[in-house]
Structure 1
Amino acid sequence: MEPDLTLADLPADRVPAVVALCRRALDLPEDAAEADAVVDTLWTRAAADRTVVAFGAYAGDELVGVLIGSLSARDPRVGHVDLLAVDPARRRRGVGRALLAGAERRLAELGAAEVLLAGNPPYYAWPGIDVRYTPAVCLAMALGYRQEDTAWNMTADLSYDGSPALRTTEPAERRLAGQGVVVRRAEPADLPALAEFARSTFGGLWHAELAGSVGREGAGCHLAERDGELLGFAAWGSSRPSWFGPMGTAPAAEGSGIGGVLLRRCLADQRDAGVAAAQIGWVGPVPFYSGSAGARIERVFFLYRRTL
């Protein structure tokens, strides 16, 4: 570590400085462009629901590195590193190593027995380390983290009117209406029913992600129902404006075309919000997204774990 480097907890009033650092330090343009949303999701919003740690690395009075971590929403014995960013001018000088070591100590003090370099739903900006952030991959390997999984995003091109992702949903919606299915935008009053549907049908933490999409500026959700019974939902913007998800269709409605309609409704919203390329995050059913929106696998992430 550089001799003039010090680590300190970050107070909430340093948010603007952290955002400015991330805009410089996140090498991928799509990440740098959403630095404000990333910091807000991982630090401000997450801290309202769970234990979050935030460290700054300082060279004198200059903020040259930042780390945001948290305890798992599912298991408090697991800690997560949600963001690690180092000023490009200070790389390869031990800043990232010092920040990660500091986070491990703090998370251990809070009861964590292991640390994941992986997203901590419902507040996450990436599933893991994008393979194009090669220095971060090298740091994880050097510190004894083991790769335990791989995840990927798919990209839906929203930059031109003829994109498969922007195909009209009107014919499919008319067909569904003939079957008694109503497709509409979700409103805040729908959130309790949506949350219960997500919990009971899919488990996990999608209900919390929906709370970050319904009724929030720069986010949205659409649902399908018949006679008041929910059949599916699709949401966007919970973690970042350009990211789509979560999405779920009731098992009884699979194959009905509801999923494709809900997906493209959300993508149209994102296009209207100025998004040129939507990220379908942490993808499971690759063929569905390829067929319904012409999406392609693009971002690949390594997920790491280390026992403390």
Structure 2
Amino acid sequence: MDIRTATAGDLGDMARTARAALTFDAAEAPALLAGLAAPPAGRRRTGLVTEGGVVYASISGKDPAVGHIDLLAVHPGRQGEGRGRALVRAAEDWLRAEGATQARFAGNPPCYAWPGIDVRYTPAASLAERLGYERYHVAWNMTADLTLALPVEDDLVRLAAQGVTVGTGQRDRVVEFVREHWNDSWAWEAANATGLHHAERDGEILAFAAWGSRPTWFGPMGTAPAAQGLGLGRVLLRRCLAEQRDSGQAAAQIGWVGPLRFYSRAVGARAERVFWLYRRELV
């Protein structure tokens, strides 16, 4: 089976393969491939292709011994021919050559397709287990229905009385705020977000929320410790989701969720997509 490094000329065929194979993400498949092909500066990654199949792999920015299988897709018409197995093995060979000692089917923030393998892609999970990967963690997304009301007017009045303003248009300042309070991964997502909202008081950034750094998904968001309790998260979340609705979305994925209760209460979001994270030692 001929497996080779992908080139820019392969993107069209790769997108068609991904769109056909990734039935739960078909509309986003081309954008996912384009994002993985243009990761943050300094990331080591590769795209490998064979007829009817594609895999992307990368090295963790936090731990160079950890490699990631970022995306695997085999066209339905070529499944059952061992192409998925061959692509994973080829990706593992590349990861070994780059110094990785462990491979994971898990998202490599900040530029990733999914947190892990969506449990609905059962053949992919089965393949990982057949190849010796162990399931070590579970992650989930929540879905926000954007047809529901997302009012913020009363909150904006309340916050204004406390000297807090909410807006957009301060990307550089917000990115530095995110880097200072959280990490470089979130800062990259804020810098590359489609929408980026923030709250500030007396010239000091207090909180932020972003959407679109991973196509159509909401996140990340955060509030500085000194500003917690002001209700900034709910306001910024609703403003982002309203912007996503205005862009034509009927629903939004809140990715890699931690606080279920917050999103449920703030916008009626429901836990819906579940991802299994897998790993195996590259021996």
1:123-142 → structure 2 map (5 Å cutoff): 123-142=111-130
Q: Which residue of 2 aligns with 1:54?
A: 47
Describe the SS at the equivalent of 2:137: strand
Alpha-carbon separation, structure 2, partners of 1:212 and 1:128:
22
Distance 2:40 2:266 in 1: 36
> Structure 1 residue 180 and structure 2 residue 167: aligned?
no
Match of 1:148 in 2: 136
Structure 2 residue corresponding to 1:266, chosen from 237, 240, 264? 240
SS at match of 1:46: coil
1:93 corresponding residue in structure 2: 81
Q: Percent identity?
A: 53
Counterpart code for 1:170: E
CA distance in 1, matches of 2:108, 2:225: 26
Aligned to 1:114: 102
TM-score under structure 2 length normalisation = 0.97
Distance 1:109 1:138 in 2: 26
| Structure 2 match to 1:200 | 180
Q: Which of 242, 249, 269 lines up with 1:275 in the alignment?
A: 249
Partner of 1:25: 21
- Cα displacement (A) at 1:204: 5.5
How big is the shift at 1:199? Answer: 2.4
Aligned to 2:205: 230
- The corresponding residue for 1:305 is 279
Structure 1 stretches of at least 4 aligned residues deviating more than 4 Å after TM superposition: none
SS at match of 1:205: helix
State the secondary structure of the residue aligned to 1:33.
helix
Match for 1:38: what amino acid?
A: L
The amino acid that maps onto 2:276 is F
- Alpha-carbon deviations, 1:22-42, whole Å to 9, x = none? 1111121xx100112101111
Partner of 2:36: 42
Q: 2:54 aligned with 1:66, yes or no? A: yes
Which residue of 236, 253, 256 corresponds with 2:227? 253
Aligned partners of 2:184, 2:246: CA distance in 1, in Å?
A: 30
CA offsets, 1:97-149, max 9 Å, x none?
00000000011001111111000111011000000000011011111111111
Corresponding position of 1:216 = none
What amino acid sits opposite 2:229 in the alignment? G
Which residue of the partner structure matches residue 168 of structure 1?
Answer: 151
The reply on whether 1:210 has 2:190 as its aligned counterpart is yes
Question: TM-score scaled to structure 1, two decimals?
Answer: 0.89
Distance apart, 1:8 and its partner CA: 1.0
Q: Secondary structure of the equivalent of 1:289?
A: helix
Alignment correspondent of 1:61 = none
Q: Distance in 2 between matches of 1:295 and 1:13?
A: 40
Distance in 2 between residues matched to 1:156 and 1:49, nearest whole Å: 34
Q: Distance in 2 between matches of 1:40 and 1:8?
A: 18
Question: What value does the CA root-mean-square deviation take over the aligned residues?
Answer: 1.2
| Residue identity in the other structure for 1:99 | L
Aligned-pair distance for 1:47?
6.5
Residue type of the alignment partner of 1:120: N
Q: Letter of the aligned partner of 1:128 in structure 2?
A: G
Which residue identity is paired with 1:227? D
What SS does the aligned partner of 1:18 have? helix
SS in 2 for 1:238: coil
Q: Give the secondary structure class of the aligned counterpart of 2:47.
A: strand
How many corresponding residue pairs? 282
Paired residue secondary structure (1:304): strand
CA–CA distance in 1 between the matches of 2:228 and 2:184?
20
Distance 2:47 2:150 in 1: 43
Letter matched to residue 112 of structure 1: A
The separation in 1 between residues aligned to 2:41 and 2:223, in whole angstroms, is 29
The 8 Å contact of residues 60 and 67 in structure 2, kept in 1 or not, is answered as yes
